[in-house]
A and B are shown apart, each in its own frame.
Chain A
Amino acid sequence: MPLVEKLLSAAMSRGAEFGEVYVERATTTAVSLDEGKVRSAQVGAVTGVGVRAIRGAQVGYAYSDDLDEAALLRTAQTAALIAEGNRDPGPVALSRTPLPTYYQVKQPLAGIDVARKIELVREADAAARAHDRRIRQVTAGYADQTREILVANTLGHLAEDRQDLCRLGVSCVAFGKGGERRTGFYGGGGRVDFRFFEDFSPAQVGREAARQAVATLGAVPAPAGPQTVVLAPGWSGILLHEAVGHGLEADFIRKGTSLFAGKLGDKVASELVTVIDDGTVAGGRGSLNVDDEGNPGERKVLIEKGVLKGYLYDHLNAKLTGQRSTGSGRRQSFRYAPMPRMTNTYLAPGDQAPEEILRGVRKGLYCRQFGGGQVDISNGNFVFEISEAYLIDEGEITRPVKGAMLIGVGPEALKNVSAVGSDASLDPGLGTCGKDGQSVPVGVGLPTVRIDNVTVGGTGA
């Protein structure tokens, strides 16, 4: 403990206004299965310390995985170099920030016998193969991390948290006639006890991955051009993540490089659209008792009935714009300075029955499973891939299509939301978000949603 205080003093020794020490210890376990065999089991342990010094809008950052006092003091002095002066900052009195508990993983995942983890991938593989004989390739992976963090800063805050996270994933390839191959992917997890997989069974994960691959055999090319689309609930929430989420992160807002900058109070979406970023979802993959700057996780309404209500703030961008942190300061590890990020981002449910939404579409595309997405936060262009989609004909789901992708401009797409279902759902715990070279786990969610006039990328007529 006294060492943390020494490091804070060293970070401030040249006149910085704010100093922060971040200590991380992460133990990762992973098992993988390929071609019906458990290929490997692995474990890694990484411990390190990151030190940040801030003066105005200027940040000094340094880190070390050498944990002896001399090396750590050198690290803090390196961060301190952002300021140019000499001063004795005096002692820092730290007091512990009381934390909520949004994820109660009783037994750290790192401590669970690896044999039980291996059993998960075996069961998932067997179920996928048994689902259909056209499933010829299955890869299954399980990974978990037990990450302990300590954040202390010169405002006197001290917070400690243990953030466990796990994920089981299965990929399948189905082989059809004439060399046709289709893929399926499913999985899930979160900040949950290992017992989670008693309900969210590996067999069910394997079957769902297999179902997707087989269901899309014989798919016709996706029609190209503007269409009405209906998005199935869950992982489709990546729409919000890309179309609005990133553009509401306060670093882009402060720099004026996001198309949502200066639009607070404006109507940016259909009034059916209420978007929430929520770090408090029980067991959620993106949930945070405390962010990587020591601020408690929060539930933030970003868009309410189509009106832009708020942005996602970390410490630095909040300070520079006279706002308060929304508990959105996150980092991949001690090797990175934090920045504003999403946690679990979802759309509040509407009141329409999902079947009714589908029935109302004469011609369109029903999107059931999704791949990854990306956004350009300046012009607002976003894409996301549709891994399982079907044509809609007179309100009925008909033929599967392949190679579909959606593209749009954030606010326009959200203004074209014309129906929101009552079936709100979060994704099963799969998402990882990348920004500026840093990856963090996130959740997304969406009820069944209808969007008109969306451009579908495809090759069909």
Chain B
Amino acid sequence: MEAQVTEQTRKDRGASLLEVCDQLVKLAKKAGASDSEAYAERTRESSVKVREGSVEELQQATSKGVGLRVFAAGRLGFAYGTDFSKDGLRGLAQSAVSLAKGAAKDPFNELPRGSQLGRGPEGGYDPAIEDIDPAWKLRAAHAAERAAGQVDRRVRKFDSTGAGDFLASSAIASSRGASGESRASYAYVYCSPVAEADGQLQTASWSDTRRRLSELQAPEEVGRIAAQRAARMLGARKVKTQKAAIIFEPQQAAGFLAGLSGAVNGDLVHKKSSFLAKLLGKRIASEQVTLVDDATLAGGLATRPFDGEGVLSQRTVVIDRGVLKNFLYDTYTARKAGARSTGNAARGWSSLPRIGTSNFVLDRGGASADEIVRGTKRGLLVTAMLGSGASAVTGEYSRGANGLWIEDGQIAHAVQEVTVSGSLLELLQAIDAVGNDLDLRSSTAAPTLRIAEAVISGS
């Protein structure tokens, strides 16, 4: 890996993040660690909120932190802090080493090394976001709110509308040769209006986040979509308890996938605690389902050159045309399970690496969302959900849902106060339509999905 130091951080501080990490690794060795790894981050965030045409909040800050993982006599210790002074770092190294004494000796405690380490494609970093004009954010937020206010006279209230940017640089260094820096930039616009009629309030929100400013959805568009989504929920009511088709809009389909991510976590699988643990190589979903975890994906919000342990980013096929192909691993769990790290160590400076998805994406299918709706005789188009609802252990799925009722391919009325339930395996196998509307607006992303039948609980 090559060291990449941004000019910004050079100007701000004496030491680069990578230098801080290198220093910590040296200090850890001095304090008695046999191996160590430091991970540091510096972020800059700036945001505006507007409401009813005036500024509601301006926020701006920079922030930093470093975490140190050590192994001493095969035992794991971890310490983190925000004090980058020499004394602060020395204190961190001493406490990590001393904490390791309390942990159990574990033969799988090792850092990644050699050919595992490396640098894949960079994630998007846009200097235009770095240099974003504060006035631009205000204009964007105002424009989104104004556009939302012109959609429907029943949309008059706003919870909040805003825009912002977020820059992050991170560095990693280890006694096993990990050494690198990476950067990420994000810009976003969001709008949360409330529609009101006949004593009913319905809120909806729409947002867009991108790593390049030029790819960001027009703020007016964000506002309009948000308002349309709120207005179309007015008059929502329960439906009868029944079995019917479920269509997940892309965001809700992504939420459904997120429920699966726990079940392909190598740690849960190794403990036989995932409902998918024994199904590797088996058909678990409809043939229309292909799911990948891809940290190298161009334009992905979670694209990065290496993972939270410095392991080279990769593309892992999780489900290939319905067949379960791979689970996701970090270094520790991979060693324990006799597998290879898939570069899925997720990381922040204040926590130990743990298995997490990067860009977790369902392949697009052939049908447009409209065609899927038109082809549905009776069902619920789910537009928002409540609750976490999916158990990776038992494979049970049950969530609150809002949406639109479909009769004979047409939208009949809005629906609220119902739940959608089933077993995740049955739901995956019942997927009978996959849309062509995949958009990487979140790191877990999916196109429109239809499940042939699930239980809807209502009146």
Contact = CB atoms under 8 A, between A and B. Distances in A.
Interface of A: 31, 35, 37-48, 57-65, 75, 78, 81-82, 114-115, 118, 136-137, 173, 175, 179, 181-183, 222, 224-226, 252, 255-259, 335, 337, 371-379, 381-385, 402-405, 407-409, 455-459
A407 B102 contact: no
B57 A61 contact: yes
Nearest to A251: B159
Given A255-B51, A335-B63, A407-B417, A457 B394 contact: no
Given A385-B389, A459-B421, 8 more contacts: A31-B102, A40-B77, A59-B56, A60-B57, A82-B55, A173-B271, A225-B459, A404-B398
Given A376-B402, A379-B416, A385 B387 contact: yes
B81 A458 contact: no
Contacts of A403: 394, 396-398, 421
A455 B79 contact: no
Contact of A402 (B59, B394, B420): B394
A152 to B, nearest CB: 19
A48 B43 CA distance: 15
Contact of B387 (A39, A63, A259, A383): A383
A374 B67 CA distance: 32
A378 B79 contact: no
B348 to A, nearest CB: 11
Interface of B is mostly: strand
A381 B57 contact: no
B61 A63 contact: yes
B384 interface: yes
B241 to A, nearest CB: 4
Contact of A456 (B99, B394, B457): B457
B373 to A, nearest CB: 23
Of A82, A181, A378, A405, most B-chain CB atoms within 10 Å: A378
Given A44-B79, A256-B157, A39 B417 contact: no
Given A31-B102, A257-B157, A407 B76 contact: no
A181 B457 contact: no
Contacts of A405: 387, 389, 398-400, 419, 421
A382 B102 contact: no
5 contacts: A41-B77, A41-B99, A46-B350, A257-B157, A381-B386
A455 B417 contact: yes
Contacts of B61: 61-64, 75, 78, 335
A407 B275 contact: no
Contacts, number: 238
Contacts of B397: 403
Nearest to B45: A335
Contacts of A378: 159, 194, 201-203
Contact of B201 (A259, A382, A404): A259
A225 B58 contact: no
A371 B387 CA distance: 10
B232 interface: no
Given A58-B57, A62-B60, A64-B61, A44 B157 contact: no
A30 to B, nearest CB: 9
Interface in B367-395: 384, 386-389, 391, 393-394
Contacts of B350: 44, 46
Interface of B: 51, 54-65, 67, 76-83, 95-96, 99-100, 102-104, 106, 157-159, 194, 200-203, 233, 236, 238, 241, 271-273, 275, 278, 350, 352, 384, 386-389, 391, 393-394, 396-400, 402, 416-423, 455, 457-459
Contacts of A61: 57-61
Nearest to A54: B57
Contact of B400 (A43, A81, A404, A457): A457
A375 B417 CA distance: 11
A65 B400 contact: no
B224 to A, nearest CB: 19
Contacts of B78: 40-43
Contact of B102 (A78, A118, A252, A372): A118
B159 A255 contact: yes
A458 B455 contact: yes
| 5 closest Cβ pairs, A-B complex | A457-B419, A383-B400, A42-B78, A378-B203, A37-B104
Nearest to B80: A44
Contact of B419 (A179, A376, A383): A383
Given A75-B61, A405-B387, A225 B394 contact: no
B319 to A, nearest CB: 20
A253 B256 CA distance: 32
Contacts of B275: 181
Nearest to A224: B457
A48 B384 CA distance: 37
A52 to B, nearest CB: 10
A46 B54 CA distance: 34
A48 B102 contact: no
Contacts of B352: 40, 42
Contact of B457 (A42, A59, A183, A455): A455
Contact of A65 (B55, B63, B99): B63
B35 to A, nearest CB: 14
B58 A59 contact: yes
A42 B455 CA distance: 44
Nearest to A56: B54
A407 B417 CA distance: 6
B399 A42 contact: no
A132 B331 CA distance: 32
A41 B352 CA distance: 10
A178 B456 CA distance: 27
Contact of B386 (A252, A335, A376): A376
A9 B50 CA distance: 26
B392 to A, nearest CB: 10
A402 B96 CA distance: 42
Contacts of B398: 222, 385, 403-405, 457-459
Contacts of A181: 273, 275, 393-394
Contacts of B54: 57-58
Contacts of A372: 387-388
Contact of B103 (A41, A44, A224): A41
Given A375-B386, A402-B396, A455-B457, A35 B271 contact: yes
Contact of B241 (A225, A337, A408): A225
A374 B51 CA distance: 25
B389 A381 contact: no
B82 A48 contact: yes
Contact of B236 (A41, A82, A136, A379): A379
Contacts of B159: 252, 255, 257, 378
Contacts of B455: 224, 458-459
A43 B101 CA distance: 13
A407 B203 contact: no
Nearest to A118: B102
Given A81-B58, A173-B393, A458-B398, A43 B99 contact: yes
Contacts of A39: 76, 103-104, 106
A183 to B, nearest CB: 5
Contact of B384 (A175, A376, A385): A376
A258 B275 CA distance: 39
Contacts of B106: 37, 39
Contacts of B422: 459
A458 B458 contact: no
A120 B203 CA distance: 45
Contacts of B55: 58, 82
A337 B158 CA distance: 19
B79 A376 contact: no
A456 B417 CA distance: 10
Contacts of B64: 65
A42 B104 contact: no
Given A40-B76, A337-B59, A385-B398, A179 B387 contact: no
Contacts of B386: 374-376, 381-383, 407
